[in-house]
Amino acid sequence: MAQLFFRYGAMSSGKSIEILKVAHNYEAQGRKIALLTSNVDDRSGVGTVASRIGLHRKAMPISEDLNLFNYVSELNKSDVESGNGRVACVLIDEAQFLKRHHVLECAKIVDELKIPVMAFGLKNDFQNHLFEGSENLLIFADKVEEMKTICHYCGHKATMNLRINSGKPVYEGEQVQIGGDESYYPVCRFHYFHPNKQR
């Protein structure tokens, strides 16, 4: 039975490497996937799923006005007509940047096309507010799973993302600032508030 999955984790929790692994596993079995990512994250180029360990792959960039249900329906239709088979799974990276309508379209893909959708992304931003995409995935997903990583400072479980500028924590600013290890640390709650203290 198809379901809408949301797998979230702090920065450096392996979300992108996991989505690439899932894509590989489907395709190794001869099954077709639709791989998408937000067009907001352009660190490796728009429409690229890239992990910190160097693996990367092209994906369909999701713009604000893209209708995911229509896109997958058309992809499914052209695949069947060409003899390539139906889409077996929809995989979405950087899902925190989805809009509410995107998440509802994902639910429609699951409910009407009977295709599972797996969305991977951050839950909260650097101020510990939910992203729009994450909030709606938490509401509408059939299954929510946390991907774990450790705190940059102490090795305890990281649940938050600390924005860094020139080695100093940043607690104010725009919600979206694209960056990687140079801009964000995965941290536990204690070190989010006290990055310079021993736990």
CA–CA dist 104, 12 (Å, integer): 27
- Known binder of ligand: residue 95? yes
Give the whole-angstrom CA distance, residue 118 versus residue 5: 5
* φ and ψ at residue 185, rounded to 5 degrees: -115, 135
The Cα–Cα gap between 5 and 18 comes to 13
95, two tokens = 């899902």
146 is catalytic: no
Catalytic residue among 94, 112, 132, 146: 94
Report which secondary-structure segment, H or E, holds 22.
helix 15-28
The answer to whether the annotation marks 151 as part of a ligand binding site is yes
Q: Which pair of structure tokens corresponds to residue 31?
A: 């099954």
Q: Does the annotation place 51 within a ligand binding site?
A: no
Known binding residue 14? Answer is: yes
**Taken in order 123, 61, 20, 114, is the CA torsion positive or negative?**
positive
Q: Is 9 annotated as a binding residue?
A: yes
Let me know: does 50 contact 180? Beta carbons within 8 Å. no
Contacts of 99 (CB under 8 A, 6+ apart): 64, 132, 133
83 in a labelled binding site: no
Residue 183 known to bind ligand: no
Q: Is 188 annotated as a binding residue?
A: yes
106 annotated to bind ligand = no
User: Is 29 assigned to a binding site?
Assistant: no
Q: Residues at the annotated binding site for substrate?
A: 176-179, 184
Residues annotated as catalytic are 94
Residue numbers belonging to the annotated binding site: 9-16, 93-96, 151, 154, 176-179, 184, 188, 191
Annotated binding site for Zn(2+): 151, 154, 188, 191
* Binding-site sequence positions for ATP: 9-16, 93-96
